[in-house]
Structure 1
Amino acid sequence: MGQGELENCRICGRLFLKDHTDYCLNCFEDIEQDFKYVADFLKKEQNRYATLQEVSKAAEVSEKRIMEFIRGGRIFAEDYPNLGYECAQCGTLIKRQVLCNDCYERYSTAVDEMMTREKAKDEIRKAQHGHQNEAQYWRLKRNK
């Protein structure tokens, strides 16, 4: 195992020796305790249909942290019909990623179109620049 690096904890800012996490030991333990509260709450059959807000309130864990557990794959939201979070763009309830499929497709299409336009612009610039160099070459050749 290689030597760890000194890092600042992403939560409290304390220096710690980074090996496998972005958090100091105290914050890491807090995160693990929060995960245990959420997991224990969701294990109960009567809580299977709880929403993110209900889980947050009952487990006394922030919605943001629960979303991190879901995004990180520690909680599989597909197993819980009402557990999810809002798409960053439109607010639709989702269970993975940051964007819903519709918003992802819309952004993906827009990026593809923009990249195609940029590529076309680059090719036009190269073609124009190439013709200018060619013209200059022959002008210089004639002037000699």
Structure 2
Amino acid sequence: MQSAQLDNCLYCGRLYIKEHSDCCLDCFKEMEQQLLRVTDFLAKDKNGDVTVEMISESTDVSVKRIAGFIRDGRIYAEDFPNLGYPCAYCGTLIKKQILCHSCFEGLSLEIEHSIRKDGVGVNRQTAYRESQYWRLKQEK
């Protein structure tokens, strides 16, 4: 059995016993109340085309927190056409992940190019053969 660890709450900085959350119980309860306010606001029929900023204004929940709820999947943004948060790189409105698809693809290509240029990458065929070797060795 593992003993509980002391940690600082990510939001208020107070010490708490870390078990299942990255924040203290008070901050967790506050976040759940904020989520409830946001979901209640979104449940109203007339709020189908709201933006994150409009929700923040109406519910007194920060834009950053609402974006976190969407990113974590606690608010399903696909049902609301204008609901999303900005891509971390270009600012395009997105509904999941941290980067939009085009920024992700561009970054992936840059990384792949850098790896090839520096010769850091592992040959895929070699890696495949090595993994096959260890798999066969473990089966014996």
Deviation at 1:36, TM superposition (A): 0.5
TM-score under structure 2 length normalisation: 0.82
**Matching of residue 49 in structure 1 with residue 60 in structure 2:** no
Q: Give the structure 2 partner of residue 27 of structure 1.
A: 27
Equivalent residue for 2:138? none
By how many angstroms is 1:120 displaced? 6.5
The 3 A distance-change label for structure 1 pair 113 and 59 is same
* Cα RMSD (Å): 1.7
Aligned to 1:138: none
In 1: Cα distance, 2:118 partner to 2:24 partner: 44
Secondary structure of residue in 1 paired with 2:10: coil
CA distance in structure 2 between the partners assigned to 1:54 and 1:79 by the alignment: 16
Distance in 1, Cα, partners of 2:91 & 2:68: 17
Matches within 5 A, 1:59-138: 59-119=59-119
Q: In structure 1, what is the Cα distance between the partners aligned to 2:35 and 2:59?
A: 9
**In the TM superposition, what is the alpha-carbon distance from 1:106 to its structure 2 partner?**
0.5
Unaligned runs of 5+ in 1: 122-144
Per-residue deviation, residues 117-141 of structure 1 (Å, max 9, x unmatched): 11169xxxxxxxxxxxxxxxxxxxx
Give, in whole Å, the separation in 2 of the partners of 1:90 and 1:22: 29
**What secondary structure does 1:7 align onto?**
strand
Structure 2 stretches lacking a partner, 5+ long = 122-140
In the alignment, is residue 8 of structure 1 matched against residue 25 of structure 2? Answer: no
Larger radius of gyration: 1
Q: TM-score, normalised by structure 1?
A: 0.80
Is residue 18 of structure 1 aligned with residue 18 of structure 2? yes
Could you tell me how far 1:79 is from its partner in structure 2?
Answer: 1.1
How far did residue 2 of structure 1 move?
3.9
SS in 2 for 1:98: coil
The CA deviation string for residues 9-57 of structure 1, in whole angstroms up to 9 with x for no partner, is 0011111011110101111111111000001001111111100100111
